[in-house]
Structures are given as structure tokens and as C-alpha cells.
Amino acid sequence: MELKKIYDYRNIIERIVKGSIAEELGIEPKDILLSINGEKVKDIIDYKFLISDDYVEVEIEKETGEVWILEIEKDYDEDLGIEFTNPLIDKARSCRNKCIFCFIDQLPPNMRETLYFKDDDSRLSFLQGNFITLTNMSDEEIDRIIKYRLSPINVSVHTTNPELRIKMLNNKNAGKILSTLRRFKEADIRVNCQIVLVPQVNDDKELVRTLKDLSSLYPSVESVAVVPVGLTRFRDNLHKIIPFNKESAMELLNLIRDEQSKFMNEIGTRFVFASDEFYAITDEPLPKYGEYEGFPQLENGVGLLKTFEHSVDEELSSIDEKITLNNKYIIATGTLAEGFMNKIKNKILKKFIGLELKVIAIENNFFGKSITVSGLVTGQDIISQLEDYKDVDGIIIPKSMLRTESNVFLDDLTIKDIENRLKVKIIPVEVSGREFVDLFKRG
């Protein structure tokens, strides 16, 4: 979401869904929503709550200044088909924590303003899946989550030890996490939890304690993802943190497996899942597809590689005869996924004769070589490390390297900028086996 849209909290309508109630009534983009049933609309949660009835009165201000009162009869919970310029219809709430591992605090200066905005907004958790700490919310706001039954929400827990959580988040309210989650359980609010694991801080016995506490809240707490702390080279004057290495990552995976086995016996689910980074660091094979139990934390990097591999295998199995090509591509990825993508490359080459693929891991000189994920690769690092590769039909990159719904990298270089510099086509693809394999089918 663009920062200007976060800060513009007027209820300006941006788009009308085709065939919707709003379109039938003549509501148009640039109209402004004034009230529903005579009540001002505070934010998107109010909006969704107020329009849920089968009869509503909607007050709209047209771009001309004319005000319409629309009486609407509809099915209960039927949407009007209105999308707003600011999805929250309110100013997003920023995070006041000073977490010892905060990635935003590790960003270099002079990047675009939106990258420095720390959100900790329950509405973004409900609408977009963002993780929130629950520390920047009043009791009234917690009550509102329960009243409006905002579910599921994603919560950054990190630890349930009150003193340790206060220290890790640098917020005196951080120790209340378990009491808040218990209230959610009583209200039947579904929660997915995240633990950013910091070696020698919230791992080992502290992690076991946290998982035990969270599992006691199952099934309200549906799953827990454990992800490694991300460290850039811009950590001057910040808390000293030890990065994960192969040995410590292996210890973590063994602990997770032990806990999964215990939870399977106690509550019938593995409950806790390690992110893909731990498997890549250790060169351990990924869990089987079914062991992810429906991939409840896919957007958190838990099982993303496995779903991609599974979908590639499905697409390749549909190719009965080998396909002859005369194409040469580079597959650019983060250093973490280099081995995995070489495995995928070898699967592809078994079905396509004459196809040349070369996987190149882009070292992250911009943020620091300890940053290994593809989603943080910048345009300038791609240029500097691929400028010698001229005789190719294209450079394939995952769309996760780009801003959502754009062609812009984190350093504000665009796909066109890179194509102009390298004189080669850049081909962004979703992390989807169908799209990836179709690229080669099309030649």
C-alpha cells in the first residue's frame, strides 16, 4: 500500500466492481462515502460491519458536490462492490516498538519513504495478512477486534516470557501477550503466530516454553511459524545479534521436529513449522507436501519452496513427449535458493531438449551478504553481477523481487532500467510451477 494512501483517510471511492450493487446504483470512482445508516464510517472494519445488514442507507457525496441518500435492500453480508483509494479508510497505525531485530531499523538511508513506515495495525492483519505485535493497541481496540470478530489475524509473538518479550520489543506493554491471546480464544478468534528467532535470545528452552504456551490455546491459535532473524550490514549502534549458521539452524530443525511429534500426539497437528530458510541453510530436504498441513503460513515463507516444486512436478508430468527448443535463459535467485533452483532446473531440462538454463545466485551487496532471500535482491546487484551475460534470451526473476503489482525493485530501479543496462529481456514470474513451466513451453 502506498504511503500517501495510508495517510489519506477520507472515504474516497477508487473502483466499482463490475455488476455490483454499487454499479447498479450509479456510484462512481471519486465519489465519497459519507455515512452508512446515519453513522460516520471510521475505517474499513466499521464499513464491513455497517453494510452487513440486508437493509442499509448509504450517504454518498458525488464529485460534483451533490449528496445522494441510497436505500439498499440486499442479501445479508452481501458486499456493495466498492473499493477505496485507501483500503483502511483511515490512517494506518505505526509501530512504536524498538524491537532488537527490527528489519526497518536496519535499512540504509535515502530509500523511498514507504519502506521506513512500521505498521502494527490489526486491520492490516485482517485485510492483508500483516503480522502485528498487539502491543500498540488499547484495551478498547482489543475489544473491537472481538466485537467485530476480526478473524483470522496474524500475531508476532516471538516469546511468551513476559520479561523477555518486553526486552525484545522494548515496549512495557509487550508482556501481556498471553492474556490477550486467551481473550481471543474465549471469543473464538482464529490466530496464526510468528516467532522471529534470535540465537541465544528466544531460542532453545525459551522457544519450547513459547510453543507450549501457544499450543495450550489451540485451536484458536491455529499454527506457529518460526523464521530466522534477518540481519543487514546496516546495524551500527543496534543490539548485537548472532546470525544463524548451519549448526544452529540444524539444532533448530531438530527441536522443531521433536515438538511436532509431541504436538501430533497431544493435539493432532504438527502446529509449529520452520520457514524454508532453515532447510536451505542446512541443506536438509524439505518436509513432504502433506506434512505442511495445508500450508497455513505460506506467505511467511513456510512451504513456499515445496509448493513451487510440487506445482513444477505436476506441470512437467503433463508433458508426454520431450519438447525441442533453442533457447538460453538465466535464472536469477537469492543465494539461499541456489541449490533448490538448480534442482528445479534439472527437472526442467529432462523435458526440454536444446534448452539451456543457468542458475545464478545474486549476492546481496546492497543490504549485506547475510541477506540471502530473493525478495530482497536489488536491481543494482542484478546489473553488477549479470552484466557479462549477453548471449541469452532472457533473465528470469521471481516477482517477489519487485514491489507488489509493479516493475520496481527495492532500490527504485525498474525492469526497464535493467533491460536498458544489460540489453537483455527481464522476465518476472510468479512462484508458480504452471507459470514457470509455461514460459519454456512458449519458447
Burial 385-411 (b: 16+ CB within 10 A, else e): bbeeeeebbbbbbbbbbbbeeeebbbb
Please state, in angstroms and rounded to a whole number, the distance separating the CA atoms of residues 206 and 203. 5
Q: Which of 358, 415, 406, 407 is nearest to 383 (CA)?
A: 415
Q: Last residue of some domain: 84, 114, 147?
A: 84
Q: Last residue of some domain: 256, 283, 300?
A: 300
For residue 96, pLDDT over 80 is answered with no
Q: What is the pLDDT of residues 21-35, one digit of tens each?
A: 999 999 999 998 888
Say whether both 248 and 270 belong to one domain.
Answer: yes
Say whether both 289 and 347 belong to one domain.
Answer: no
Is 235 inside any structural domain?
yes
Q: Which of 267, 191, 199 is nearest to 227 (CA)?
A: 199
| Residue 330 pLDDT | 96
Is 288 inside any structural domain?
yes
Residue 41 belongs to domain with CATH number: 2.30.42.10
Q: Are the C-beta atoms of residues 115 and 49 closer than 8 Å to each other?
A: no
Query: Is residue 124 very low, low, confident or very high in pLDDT (cuts 50, 70, 90)?
Result: very low
User: What global pTM score does this model have?
Assistant: 0.79
Say whether both 234 and 367 belong to one domain.
Answer: no
Q: Which residues pair with 328 in a beta bridge?
A: 356
Classify 414 as helix, strand or coil. Answer: strand
Say whether both 288 and 410 belong to one domain.
Answer: no
Q: Are the C-beta atoms of residues 214 and 247 closer than 8 Å to each other?
A: no
Say whether both 283 and 336 belong to one domain.
Answer: no
Say whether both 120 and 250 belong to one domain.
Answer: yes
For residue 68, pLDDT over 70 is answered with yes
H-helix segments, 14-161: 21-24, 44-50, 122-128, 139-147
| Average confidence (pLDDT) over 173-197 | 94
Q: What is the pLDDT of residues 31-53, one digit of tens each?
A: 988 888 988 887 777 777 788 88
Q: Which domain holds residue 323?
A: 308-441
Number of domains comprising the chain: 3
Say whether both 249 and 328 belong to one domain.
Answer: no
Classify 299 as helix, strand or coil. Answer: helix
Please state, in angstroms and rounded to a whole number, the distance separating the CA atoms of residues 146 and 128. 18
Say whether both 363 and 231 belong to one domain.
Answer: no
Is 90 inside any structural domain?
no
Is 95 inside any structural domain?
no
CB atoms within 10 A of CB 311: 17
Q: Helix-strand-coil percent breakdown of the chain, rounded to 5?
A: 40, 20, 45
Say whether both 288 and 223 belong to one domain.
Answer: yes
CB atoms within 10 A of CB 323: 13
For residue 122, pLDDT over 70 is answered with no
| Residue 285 pLDDT | 94
- What count of Cα atoms within 13 Å lies in the side-chain half-sphere of residue 79? 10
The larger pLDDT score, comparing residue 42 to residue 54, is at 54
Please state, in angstroms and rounded to a whole number, the distance separating the CA atoms of residues 352 and 377. 29
